[in-house]
Structure formats: structure tokens, C-alpha cells
């Protein structure tokens, strides 16, 4: 087959961007505009409103009416009750059609090459998720940091590098045409080098995931526990399934403001400070991540085995608990016994 026929036969994959919103009408237009200006196509955008009491829906609907000529498919899902971040993730997975998916907080926005560079990294590394760095700015759009301390920092060890290419069409990619000269550094990490339950990535809006890797995440049912900071739960799950990759370029703008559920106020130095109000509401320790990952695997056991195979499923369970001592493993006995045979469980405990 000639290169021209290959160009015409191959298509770039659909990317689904799921905008999760609760009372961020003030910032909604900036977020949606940044999606509209992505250099990559094809894209669909699903806006999930979590029963906002402000003008978020009005802002979103007005934006969609003013941008009917775009080639991006926009739609809005309105919730009747406030269900939180994890519920939004699950709805996004169920409703999206893309090969790749990203969840964007409505108070953030993404750079024009966000999808472009994430997908080029995915194609080179075959990981389940990629996470880029972020800049930080405030509610008045004033920049506070170009390389946020909330993002992984480059170490110079074990990274790869590529020159970003234009993705406006497939031919440009296949012909190796250069869009700009910025070198993109990245590093692949896996469950052996970065154990399950940790935090190695930037927050929600900085990530693109392979949807196939997280399809079974819909079995997560502890949505009340993960109304906040559900990215730690989701990202550890994806990392467990297929590894992850850090992109050492700031591709997202993370907004710090006093209604932000996690980080608020101005940057005070190169130490990350968090809003006290959020720590009073959340439990993001490793125990919660381990417990709820094992629980969703119990609920979706047959789906997991069909997807992974029995041996890989067993390894996955072992990878979740491999760094725990016997006493801590005992905290999850009831769940583990539903996932492993008696013989497999006894081997772990011995």
C-alpha cells in the first residue's frame, strides 16, 4: 500500500473532553474557549453540571449557541442533585465515545497544543495515561507560576524527548512535519517503579487517559467518599492497569481561587499549601484508594477477567497490596478473598 493510500485510510482517534462543573459559571467561557481552540481534531466535549446554583448552565448554553459552526460536538448533561467528582468521572466514561478521554475542571483551561502533545506522547509510550505540568493563575487571570509545585518536576533521569509535530491532519504527522521546535521531555513510570496508592501526577485537568484502560472504573460505587480529589482514585487505577507517563511541559492553566475545592489563594513560596476546608471533608490516604479499588474489582470481577485474563487479574490484585505488611493486608481480607482463590491468598499471607 502506498503512503498516499495509508494517509487516506488512517484516521486520528476521537478525543473526549469532559468538563466537570459546580458553580464555576464565572470561568466557564474561558474553559470552553480553550477547548474550541485546540489544534487537534476530532474532539467531542461533554459538559457535566453537578446541580449548580449559579448561572453555569446559562453560560454554557449561550456559548454553544454562539459556536454552532464549530466541528467540535458539544453537549450538556444536567444533574438534578449534587453528586461530586467521582460521579462526574463515571458519567463521563459512560457517555463519551472517544478512544482517549480527559476530564477538565470548569475553572481551568488548556493550552492550544494540549491534546496534540498528549496524544503524541501516548502514541510513543502506549501507557494508560499521560500527565503534563501546569501553570497556576488566579481568578483575575494573573499568572503566579509557570511550573507549578503541584506538578512533577524534571530530574534528568530516564526521560525521553521528542519535537512536537503538527496534528492538523494525518499527512503532516506521517510526513514528520515540524509544527514548532520545542523539545518535549517525558518519562514513563510503572507500578514497579511507582507503587500503587501514591501521587505522581498533576491534578485532574492535566491528564489524558486511554478510555479502554478505565472502562471498568464505572464499577466504583463509593461516590460520596470521593466527592473531592477523585483524581487520586482514578489515576492510581489507570496507572495500575497500564502505567503512566509524565510530560514535562505546562499544558494546562490551573486556577487558584477561594472557591477552589483544593488549592486556594496566592502562591506563598515553593511549598504546596492546601485549603483547610478541603482537608476537613476528604480522605485521600492510601487505605481509601486500596479499599475502593479492591471493592470496584469485586463488583466488576467478571468484566476485569474478560478484559485482562485471569493471570493478569491476579497480578493486578497483588500489585495493589504487594507493599503492605501482613497486618495491613488483613484489613482487606474480606475483599481479597472475593478476588483470589484460597491458595493464592495463602501464598500472599505466607
Whole-number Å distance between alpha carbons of 53 and 30: 19
Domain spanning 3-282: which superfamily? Spore Coat Polysaccharide Biosynthesis Protein SpsA; Chain A (3.90.550.10)
Pick the more confident residue, 325 or 291: 291
Residues 102 and 207: beta-carbon distance below 8 Å: yes
Q: What cell was used for 235?
A: 489515576
Q: What is the DSSP letter of 215?
A: G
pLDDT at 343 over 90: no
pLDDT at 283 over 70: no
Residues 179 and 266: beta-carbon distance below 8 Å: no
Q: Which of 132, 90, 96, 134 is nearest to 115 (CA)?
A: 132
Residues 133 and 148: beta-carbon distance below 8 Å: yes
Angle at 96 between CA 90 and CA 97, to 5 degrees: 145
Q: In the prediction, which pLDDT does 165 show?
A: 56
pLDDT at 345 over 60: yes
**pTM for the complete prediction?**
0.88
pLDDT at 172 over 70: no
Q: In the prediction, which pLDDT does 338 show?
A: 95
- The distance of Cα 99 from the centroid of its chain, to the nearest Å, equals 14
Bridging pattern class, strands 15-21 and 43-49:
parallel
Overall size of the chain counted in residues: 350
pLDDT at 264 over 90: no
Average pLDDT, integer, range 33-51: 96
pLDDT at 164 over 50: yes
Bridging pattern class, strands 160-165 and 244-256:
unpaired
Q: In the prediction, which pLDDT does 44 show?
A: 98
Q: In the prediction, which pLDDT does 139 show?
A: 85
Pick the more confident residue, 174 or 193: 193
H/E run at residue 87? helix 85-95
Whole-number Å distance between alpha carbons of 99 and 11: 12
pLDDT at 157 over 70: no
Please write the tens of the pLDDT for every residue from 56-95. Answer: 999 999 999 999 999 999 999 999 999 999 999 999 999 9
| H runs (alpha helix) in the chain | 3-9, 25-36, 56-66, 85-95, 114-125, 170-174, 211-214, 230-242, 276-279, 286-299, 301-308, 310-321, 326-329, 333-339, 342-349
pLDDT at 177 over 50: no
Q: What cell was used for 110?
A: 488548556
Q: Per the omega criterion (within 30 degrees of 0), is the bond before 42 cis?
A: yes
Percentage of residues in the chain having pLDDT higher than 70: 81
Listed ranges 24-28, 173-177, 271-275; the one with the highest mean pLDDT: 24-28
pLDDT averaged over every residue in the chain: 86
Q: In the prediction, which pLDDT does 168 show?
A: 47
Whole-number Å distance between alpha carbons of 242 and 316: 10
Residues 139 and 257: beta-carbon distance below 8 Å: yes
Please write the tens of the pLDDT for every residue from 3-28. Answer: 455 556 789 999 999 999 999 999 99
Percentage of residues in the chain having pLDDT higher than 90: 66
Beta strands in the chain (DSSP E): 15-21, 43-49, 73-78, 100-105, 109-110, 129-138, 143-145, 160-165, 178-189, 207-210, 244-256
Bridging pattern class, strands 100-105 and 160-165:
unpaired
Residues 250 and 334: beta-carbon distance below 8 Å: no
Name 75's bridge partners: 46
Please write the tens of the pLDDT for every residue from 207-252. Answer: 999 999 999 999 999 999 999 999 999 999 999 999 999 999 889 9
Residues 209 and 180: beta-carbon distance below 8 Å: no
Q: In the prediction, which pLDDT does 119 show?
A: 96
Domain ranges in the chain with CATH number 3.90.550.10: 3-282
Bridging pattern class, strands 244-256 and 129-138:
parallel
Sign of the Cα torsion 55, 279, 104, 291 reads negative
Please write the tens of the pLDDT for every residue from 104-149. Answer: 999 999 999 999 999 999 999 999 999 999 989 888 888 888 777 7
Q: In the prediction, which pLDDT does 3 show?
A: 47
Q: What per-residue string of b and e applies to 264-281 under the rule 16 or more CB within 10 Å gives b?
A: beebeeeeeeebeebeee
Whole-number Å distance between alpha carbons of 289 and 320: 9
Residue identified by cell 476530532 is 42
Q: In the prediction, which pLDDT does 117 show?
A: 94
pLDDT range class, residue 151, cuts 50, 70, 90: confident
For the chain, what is the radius of gyration of the CA atoms? Answer: 21
Amino acid at each position: 500500500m502506498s503512503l498516499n493510500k495509508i494517509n487516506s485510510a488512517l484516521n486520528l482517534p476521537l478525543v473526549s473532553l469532559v468538563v466537570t462543573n459546580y458553580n464555576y459559571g464565572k470561568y466557564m467561557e474561558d474553559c470552553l474557549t480553550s477547548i474550541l481552540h485546540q489544534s487537534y481534531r476530532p474532539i467531542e466535549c461533554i459538559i457535566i453540571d453537578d446541580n449548580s446554583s449559579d448561572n453555569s448552565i446559562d453560560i454554557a448554553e449561550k456559548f454553544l449557541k454562539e459556536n454552532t459552526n464549530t466541528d467540535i460536538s458539544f453537549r450538556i448533561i444536567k444533574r438534578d442533585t449534587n453528586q461530586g467528582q467521582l460521579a462526574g468521572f463515571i458519567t463521563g466514561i459512560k457517555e463519551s465515545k472517544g478512544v482517549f478521554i480527559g476530564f477538565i475542571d470548569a475553572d481551568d483551561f488548556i493550552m492550544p497544543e494540549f491534546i496534540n502533545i498528549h496524544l503524541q506522547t501516548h502514541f510513543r509510550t502506549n501507557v494508560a495515561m499521560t500527565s503534563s505540568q501546569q501553570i497556576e493563575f488566579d481568578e483575575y487571570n494573573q499568572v503566579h507560576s509557570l511550573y507549578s509545585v503541584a506538578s512533577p518536576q524534571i530530574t534528568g533521569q530516564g526521560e525521553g524527548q521528542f519535537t512536537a509535530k503538527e496534528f492538523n491532519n494525518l499527512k503532516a504527522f506521517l510526513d514528520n512535519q515540524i509544527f514548532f521546535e520545542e523539545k518535549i521531555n517525558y518519562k514513563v513510570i510503572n507500578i514497579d517503579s511507582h507503587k500503587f496508592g501514591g501521587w505522581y501526577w498533576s491534578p485532574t485537568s492535566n491528564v489524558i487517559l486511554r478510555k479502554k484502560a478505565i472502562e471498568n472504573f464505572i464499577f466504583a460505587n463509593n461516590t460520596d467518599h470521593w466527592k473531592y480529589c477523585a483524581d487520586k482514585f482514578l489515576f492510581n487505577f489507570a496507572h495500575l492497569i497500564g502505567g503512566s507517563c509524565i510530560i514535562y511541559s505546562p499544558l494546562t492553566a490551573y486556577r487558584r481561587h477561594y472557591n477552589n475545592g483544593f488549592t486556594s489563594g496566592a502562591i506563598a513560596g515553593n511549598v504546596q499549601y492546601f485549603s483547610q476546608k478541603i482537608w476537613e471533608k476528604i480522605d485521600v490516604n492510601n487505605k481509601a484508594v486500596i479499599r475502593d479499588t479492591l471493592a470496584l474489582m469485586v463488583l466488576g470481577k467478571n468484566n476485569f477477567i474478560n478484559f485482562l485474563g485471569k493471570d493478569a487479574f491476579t497480578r493486578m490484585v497483588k500489585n495493589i497490596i504487594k507493599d503492605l505488611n501482613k497486618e495491613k493486608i488483613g484489613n482487606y481480607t474480606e475483599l481479597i478473598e472475593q478476588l483470589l482463590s484460597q491458595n493464592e491468598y495463602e501464598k500472599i499471607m505466607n
